[in-house]
Amino acid sequence: MAAAEKAFEDRCGEMMDYEGQLLKLLTEKYRKSKKDAGTNRIKRRTQIKPSQLYTKYCDNDGDFAIIEAIGEAVRACERRGFVTYEMKGFGYEIAAVYLNDDRITEVEQYLNDTCGYETKEAKLAYVRNLIEKYGQCSPAAAMECARMQEDLKQRRLPKNYAQKEDVLKALIFVENNKQELYVREASMLIYGSSKYFEENTMDTVCRLLRNYLKKPCGEGELPDEILEQYHIRKEAQRLCMKGNCTIYRKGQVLEVGALENGIEFAADEVPEIERVETGAQEFLTVENKTSYLRCPAGNMVVFYLGGYATRYQRDFIKKVWRDNPGLSWSHFGDIDAGGFFIHEHLCRITEIPFKMKYMSVGQLQDERFAACLQKLKPSDRRRLKTLQEKEAYKDTVEYMLKENVKLEQEIVSYYLEREN
């Protein structure tokens, strides 16, 4: 009897899960439509297809238990008056599910009660409070709040609204700062965390400063260099690399591969390098120092990135790119939102299509790393969702959100060294 009861509970839980997914999809679709703002000219029904819940819903080899659970979830929603649905002309399959638009508020409240879903009204109220709190604190913050206010008039939520307060806090701090600070000191003063600014909000803050204050990048200038105008700068940097590589500088030849642990040189020496030649097949950038030290060079040039690429790192990497056509390019970082954003930033500022290495579902499923998987924080989930539509990250991000996991790269590089 206990086994039967357990099977029944599992089935009910699965049904409720599909019910919630169904209503969330319909709710989000409605809230993003012109109907929500009252600006629609053509009246269309808010609908989804069951295949959006289960991709193999219409396939012959689809799991019938899942298909039936989806059907039960749809019928449960219909009994509550939330949806209607249409069947296909034959068989048991549902063709489409339609939201009863006039019940949208009740649907959101039901989702809030059953799974903590945040209603759009709550989100809009949150944004109004931000505008009231931060709208007069600095010039760029005032302009950003004015833009957010225009969104509210159309019942639109600002993009990445959940991170807006963190962005506004940093924007206001930077504009009002009068003391000489390093970036990580500023981050501590804003958030109480030395890395949060650089990993989460710095790109957005610098873009807003440049856009609102009409300070575009000069030739060869990176967006974050605007911080120097507000007495905030990055620490002096040294570049680290190892592997089969030869550097030519001022008539001198430096064989990097002759040193097993590679070399380190000052970033401001990059302009003096005439050319870089490598006999390796691959150039690999590595996010964290421990993984850089562990990572065997083999037939690669391994370059320590240390986070978001700086101007000097960008210039050196682009020099290697120009001097070595045909070289393969990869990046190895943490399997988390920060790691993906670092990869995206690297590709964007170098204009090189870096592949991701050791940053896939395969690593998250590797039994050797299972004890090191970490649960996602709410901020992790928010940031990952902004990457969900980008093809390069989609599969891994969806797995991370579903399984509630992330992984730091140090455990991966620990085993990499032992495999070589």
Domain boundaries, the chain: 2-115, 120-233, 282-419
Most confident of 64-73, 128-137, 382-391: 128-137
- Written as six digits, the tokens of 109 are 């409240």
CA dihedral of 192, 222, 270, 328, whole degrees rounded to 10: 100
Say how far apart CA 264 and CA 279 lie, in whole Å.
20
| Residue 96 in this model has a pLDDT that exceeds 70 | yes
Say how far apart CA 403 and CA 65 lie, in whole Å.
21
Q: Any idea how long the chain is?
A: 420
Which residue type is seen at 125? A
Mean pLDDT, rounded, of the chain: 87
Give the side-chain half-sphere CA count within 13 A for 47.
Answer: 14
**Arithmetic mean of pLDDT, 358-383:** 92
Top-confidence residue, 181 or 219: 181
**Arithmetic mean of pLDDT, 249-261:** 89
Q: Name the pTM for this structure.
A: 0.54
Architecture of domain 282-419: 3-Layer(aba) Sandwich (3.40)
Lowest mean pLDDT among 123-132, 173-182, 355-364, 400-409: 123-132
**Arithmetic mean of pLDDT, 382-393:** 90
In the prediction, which pLDDT does 361 show? 95
Q: How confident is the model at residue 2 (pLDDT cuts 50, 70, 90)?
A: very low
Say how far apart CA 174 and CA 316 lie, in whole Å.
29
**Arithmetic mean of pLDDT, 341-352:** 94
Helix 164-176 and helix 120-134, axial crossing angle in degrees, nearest 10 = 10
Q: Phi and psi dihedrals of 329, rounded to 5? A: -125, 130
Q: How confident is the model at residue 406 (pLDDT cuts 50, 70, 90)?
A: very high
Q: How confident is the model at residue 211 (pLDDT cuts 50, 70, 90)?
A: very high
Say how far apart CA 192 and CA 188 lie, in whole Å.
4
Q: How confident is the model at residue 418 (pLDDT cuts 50, 70, 90)?
A: low
Q: How confident is the model at residue 364 (pLDDT cuts 50, 70, 90)?
A: very high
